[in-house]
Amino acid sequence: MVQLKADVLVLGAGMVGVSAALHLQKLGRDVILVDRHERAGEETSYGNAGLIECASVFPYMFPRDFKQILQYALNRSPQVRYSISDLPDFLPWLVRYYFASSPQRALHSAMAELPLIQQSLVEHEALIDEAGVPELLRRTGWLKLFRSETSLAKAVREAERAGQYGVASEILDSKAIAAREPHLTGDFAGAVHLPAPGFIADPAALARAYAALFVRKGGRFVVADARSLTQEAGGWRVDRVAAREAVVALGPWSDLVYRPLGYAIPLGFKRGYHLHLKPGGNAVLNHPVLDSDLGFLLAPMNQGIRLTTGVEFARRDAAPSPIQIDRALPRARSLFPLGEAIEAKPWMGRRPCLPDMLPVIGRAPRHPGLWFDFGHQHHGLTLGPVTGRLLAEMMTGVTPFADPLPFAADRFG
């Protein structure tokens, strides 16, 4: 028996789902937000570098450099590792990722996403103000450190290219790095400072603040299993909650809903890890700092210094592996004074990715009233509010602020 009814069910209370619910609510829809957890932001949205990456014009595509590919293949890259036993599961997706990363197709993806990237911080600022949590947003930007002249030169070229699209950056020498971050140690060829991106000191708290705003404005949050989604006369139902329309915003678990409905959208997973540590002594980290050549990032979160790893290719639900954290931790300690770990074990998350590094946003082609909003790759925190706005405009008949065609579900055939 149906107990609750609404105009729209939004399945998933991560940053993407909560943002979609807020924008639909703003445009007059009665929305129920559904999640298996009692709080928002408990899965992928909990663990990330905390960056609202409004400067990230070019997506993370598969490299074309042979030496780098060979390093990946031999599992010797600090930025990427893979599980050999899981290779049959993700290799077909990896091949599609490689072909989608050709220079021409990569540029197409970048230009399609550019309006979203450029608007991303603006949308967050509006929600942060309305939610009353300005303390979660810091205006530091972030630093990319480079240990070799070769990697620095490549980064400078990339910064110049991004500058053509309005992205500000500053190249720092070793003295300038020491002035910005006096507690870092190491031999650096230089760094790139990106001043525009916002930094969120507690990404999970931001998702919860947005969810609290949604509820204060009359929205309803229901704990239920989205896998029970069924189509019925007049709309969609999850357990005892029903609505005319439903939005699948389940991140890396979206396939558990769309595959039974007959969709073969090629969703892949880039797993990643983080660990919070206490700063050593009186050491202070002023910015998120990426050690580009060694493949880890340190971010000054409210919980402590967050050490984040690169990418791990493995089955979504395979057991966590400590390898990347174990490798990164001594390198991180040599970069910045770190004390004891705050958690007993590292956290693991899954980034939901499509081969072209664009999310799926829009109507489900064969099911009236069903909508998709997932696959935000490395930018779920960044893009959640802006794709929520785009989706809400599409669902309510408002002229979309950006072209939604590149994000259509049927682009994969």
41: left (phi over 0), alpha (psi -120 to 50) or beta: left
Q: What is the rounded CA–CA span in Å between residue 300 and residue 281?
A: 15
If you ran DSSP here, which 8-state letter would residue 310 be given?
-
CB 367 within 8 A of CB 231: yes
In a domain, 366, yes or no: yes
Checking if the pLDDT of 3 tops 90, the result is no
In sequence order, what are the residues at sequence separation of 6 or more whose Cβ sits closer than 8 angstroms to the Cβ of residue 404?
A: 361, 362, 390, 394
Residue 232 covered by a domain: yes
Assess contact for 249 and 35: CB atoms under 8 A: no
Within a domain: residue 252?
A: yes
Residue 221: inside a domain: yes
pLDDT single digits (tens) 46-95: 999 999 999 999 999 999 888 889 999 999 898 999 999 999 999 999 99
Residue 348 located in a structural domain? no
Q: What is the per-residue pLDDT across 312-367, written as a single tens digit (0 to 9) for each?
A: 999 999 999 989 999 999 999 999 999 999 999 999 999 999 999 999 999 999 99
Judged against a pLDDT cut of 90, whether residue 413 lies above it is answered with no
Name the phi and psi angles at 284, rounded to 5: -130, 135
User: Is the distance from CB of 29 to CB of 396 less than 8 angstroms?
Assistant: yes
Number of domains in the chain: 1
Q: 24: domain CATH number?
A: 3.50.50.60
Residue 52 lies in a domain: no
- Residue ranges making up the domain that contains 397: 4-47+204-266+355-412
Instruction: Strands of 105-257 (E only): list them.
Output: 137-138, 142-146, 170-172, 190-194, 198-200, 220-223, 230-232, 235-238, 241-248
Instruction: Please report the beta strands in 149-218, taking only residues with DSSP state E, as ranges in sequence order.
Output: 170-172, 190-194, 198-200
In a domain, 27, yes or no: yes
In-domain check, residue 372: yes
Q: Residue 220: helix, strand or coil by DSSP?
A: strand
Determine the 3-state secondary structure of 225 from DSSP.
coil
